Amino acid sequence: MGTAARYKEGKSEDEFRQYDEQAVPRVAEFYRQQHENMTVDYVLAKEAEYFTLRKGRKTIWEAAEFLNQLVDDSDPDTDLTQIEHLLQTSEAMRRDNLPRWMILTGFLHDLGKCLCLYGEPQWGVVGDTFPVGCAWSEHIVFHQYFAKNPDRLNPHYQDLYGIYEPNCGLEKLHMSFGHDGYIGEVMQPYLPDEALYMLRFHSFYPWHKHGAYDHLCNDKDRSMKEWVLKFNQYDLYSKGHSKPDLKELKPYYDDLFAEFLPPTIAW
């Protein structure tokens, strides 16, 4: 039995990702802000600002250490530090003898949250993701909060395809801005497509959990979905278990980083 399957025995899928406005008000407030403010103009401006990777160079450990200052207001499932969650994810993959590039991806997947270091609000960094510039799927969590998004007033943005062509592919979409797309840009020169899909689309739950937006997908997206789903088993179901020992694990990850990445990365 794989690690992810063992973790699921402790908590069922239905028990994760519970978004109840009254039970978890901070999560509901987070998504209200995200859905009201995540417009096409906002996303395009943030892509222009950050996807050029001109914020300096950092080591992986420097980026990871910053995350320990962050409490993710969109996540109802864990009270671990960010680096502990990264290590739980990657260590679960390691125990199941998954490829080293995937173990690395498990460690890297949330490092884009360092956007908060530059003063970005949490609603513009974390949370589930979705395309902008086309009709919002009803499978987006807290869908009702889009009622006050200014893009609702643009009929073109409310069309099924919006600003996109049919089956254009996920890589051509402007996703809601956040850590997924950012870390995908940062790691684009170094990792295989399977890893980049995991990074860019692991929070795109309307697509990989509910099958939404298939009209914008191409054959590559459909073949890559299995990798994203495989990744998400470890991202989600590793939460809430024993804390990893960073001091003990650091030599392994030093070697892993050196195998795939340069000493410092452009952010």
Q: What residue numbers bound the domain in which 260 lies?
A: 21-266
Using CA atoms, how far residue 48 sits from 165, 166, 168, 174, in Å, is 22, 25, 21, 12
Read off the amino acid at residue 253.
Y
Q: Helices in the chain by DSSP H: which ranges? A: 3-10, 25-37, 40-50, 60-67, 82-95, 100-108, 179-187, 193-201, 205-208, 219-237, 246-260
Can you say whether the dihedral through the CA atoms of 200, 204, 208, 213 is positive or negative? negative
* 6 domain-assigned: no
Between CA 76 and CA 248 the distance in angstroms is 28
Per-residue pLDDT of the chain in tens (267 residues, 90 and over written 9): 333 333 333 344 444 444 455 546 888 999 999 999 999 999 999 999 999 999 999 999 988 987 777 766 555 445 678 888 899 999 999 999 999 999 999 999 999 988 987 899 999 999 999 999 999 999 999 999 999 999 999 999 999 999 999 999 999 999 999 999 999 999 999 999 999 999 999 999 999 999 999 999 999 999 999 999 999 999 875 555 578 999 999 999 999 999 999 999 999
Q: Which residues, other chains included, contact 109 with Cβ-Cβ below 8 Å and sequence gap of 6+?
A: 86, 89, 183, 198, 199, 202, 231, 235
Output the DSSP codes for 119-183.
T--GGGTSS---BSSSPPPTTSTTGGGGGG-GGGG-GGGGSSSTTS-TT--GGGS-BPSSHHHHH
pLDDT at 243: 83
* 3 domain-assigned: no
pTM above 0.85? yes
Compute the C-alpha angle 241/141/34, nearest 5°.
Answer: 100
Domain total of the chain: 1
Between CA 11 and CA 71 the distance in angstroms is 22
* 145 domain-assigned: yes
* 239 domain-assigned: yes
Joined together, the tokens standing for residue 214 give 């298939």
pLDDT at 96: 96
* 82 domain-assigned: yes
* 219 domain-assigned: yes
* 4 domain-assigned: no
Tell me the CB-side half-sphere exposure of residue 14, using CA atoms within 13 A. 0
pLDDT at 26: 85
Between CA 141 and CA 2 the distance in angstroms is 29
* 238 domain-assigned: yes
pLDDT at 12: 42
Q: How far apart are the first and last CA of the chain?
A: 38
Using CA atoms, how far residue 41 sits from 33, 45, 55, in Å, is 16, 6, 21
* Three-class secondary structure of residue 57 per DSSP: strand
pLDDT at 20: 53
Read off the amino acid at residue 249.
L
